[in-house]
Amino acid sequence: MFYWMLKIIVAPVLRILFRPWVRGLENIPESGPVILAGNHLSFIDSILVPVVSPRPVYYLAKNDYFTGRGLGGMLTRWFFTLTNQLPMDRSGGAGSSASLSSGTKVLADGGVLGIYPEGTRSPDGKLYRGRTGVARLVIESGSPVVPVAVIGTDRIQPVGAKLPRLGRVGIVFGEALDFSKYTGVPEDRFLLRSITDEIMYEILRLSGQKYVDSYASTVKTRLLAEKKASDGSGSGAGKSLAE
């Protein structure tokens, strides 16, 4: 009920503020399970795609949004839960597998599941290598995959910005990809990679981004380490000068 209240009340406001242009809505099946696999440029992606989608979308969101403490953490957890967001453990192993099972349940119930194969937001607007969790969902559920490209959301709400600024964005839904022939096939890392790469290629084609064959999380870690090293050397230099 809360989801539909937001859809009715908030969606028209967001349409006025961001004037999203949309293509390919007809590619979302009217019924039955479907995976919306998209690029991830900004926090607002998970809000704008459901706004324009004719069907409710359940998104796999990072687990941090559900584990915050205090009043702020409680409000964040409440908001994400009521807007059809599901906690996703991105640490790998058993935790990630358990998180994917909640997505499998959404698909088993005939719902629409949104997922970001990159696993995290792009640090620089480029498209990064997809993680194979999306392929596991495909094989287990037999669901079609609709590739999604959001365009311009990194300009209206860059990484680190708490609130978006005004600007126009685009959302493109590609033609559904059918991987049903692999349903129930034993998992093989080459098959998982092949399915994932095919999905990422379609996202790349729709978005027009530059592709980087590395994981976004790896690049983020490297950039953070470089920043810390730079800040540390800067502080050391400042200290030396002061002495």
Coil, strand, or helix at residue 120?
coil
Residue 68 lies in a domain: yes
Q: Would you say residue 229 has pLDDT above 50? A: yes
Note down the domain range covering 67: 2-212
In a domain, 223, yes or no: no
Whether the per-residue pLDDT at 88 is higher than 80: the answer is no
- The reported pLDDT for the residue numbered 240 is 34
pTM of the complete model:
0.83
3-state secondary structure of 181: helix
Provide the H-helix boundaries in the chain.
2-18, 45-52, 70-82, 93-108, 133-141, 153-156, 189-207, 216-242
Residue 211 carries which DSSP code?
E
Q: 159 with 44: CB under 8 angstroms?
A: no
The three-class DSSP label of residue 54 is coil
d(CA 65, CA 56): 20
Q: Tell me, yes or no, whether 6 lies in a domain.
A: yes
Q: How far is CA 16 from CA 45, 46, 72, 154, in A?
A: 16, 18, 28, 18
Answer for the pair 155, 220: CB distance below 8 angstroms, yes or no.
Answer: no
Confidence of residue 141 (pLDDT cuts 50, 70, 90): very high
Report the mean per-residue pLDDT for the chain.
84
Mean pLDDT value across residues 222-231: 83
CB 217, CB 120: distance < 8 Å: yes
Confidence label for 239 from pLDDT (cuts 50, 70 and 90): very low
Tell me what pLDDT residue 114 has: 94
Residue 241 has pLDDT above 50, yes or no: no
| Residue 170 resides in a domain | yes
Task: Report the CATH number that the domain containing residue 18 is assigned in CATH.
Answer: 3.40.1130.10
Q: Does residue 230 sit within a domain?
A: no
Q: Compute and round to an integer the Cα radius of gyration of the chain.
A: 19
Strand 170-173 vs strand 145-151: parallel, antiparallel, or unpaired?
antiparallel
| Within-domain flag for 168 | yes
Query: What gap in Å lies between CA 42 and CA 157, rounded to an integer?
Result: 6
Residue 159, domain member (yes or no): yes
- Cα–Cα distance, 95 to 90 (Å, whole number): 8
Neighbours of 55 (CB within 10 A): 13
Residue 11 pLDDT > 90, yes or no?
no
Residue 239 in domain:
no
> Which range (34-38, 50-54, 92-96, 117-121) has the least confidence?
92-96
Task: Count how many domains the chain has.
Answer: 1
Q: What percent of the chain has pLDDT over 70?
A: 79
